[in-house]
Amino acid sequence: MDSAIHRRLKQELGLACPLHFLFKFRYQAQFDAAGAEHELCSVFIGRCNDRVQVDPAEVHAWRWIDTTALQAQMRGGEAATFTPWFRLEWQRVWQEHRSAVLAL
């Protein structure tokens, strides 16, 4: 797992940094007629000051947002702009791992 998370971080975002495991979760999401996902996901956090260089074949869109703005967006209509798994798990991250997130 350790080599895979660092490899994918480099491939998808062009970043290399220490990562810390938070938790695992399983989710299922339907995307209308476009398809569905059913996955077991591991959540890691890390801090990096390098410039993000996304692979467009892997990442459709990204942006940096601070936790105050993110919390506001997750309570409003903008929550629909985030991926289904993120909407499902952000509350857990914020409630159970807030101190780890803010320490970054």
Distance (Å, whole) CA 92 – CA 26: 13
Whole-prediction pTM: 0.80
pLDDT tens-digit readout, 27-76 = 887 777 778 878 888 999 999 999 999 999 999 889 899 999 999 999 98
By percentage, how much of the chain surpasses pLDDT 90? Answer: 56
* Residue boundaries of the structural domains of the chain: 2-103
* Cβ atoms < 10 Å from Cβ of 103: 10
Provide the pLDDT for residue 29: 75
At the second CATH level, the architecture of 2-103 is: Alpha-Beta Complex (3.90)
Residue 39 backbone dihedrals phi, psi, to 5 degrees: -140, 155
Distance (Å, whole) CA 99 – CA 95: 9
Q: Per-residue b/e over 54-77, b at no fewer than 16 CB within 10 Å?
A: eeeeeeeeeeeeeeeebeebeeee
Reported as type and span, the H/E element at residue 70 is helix 67-75
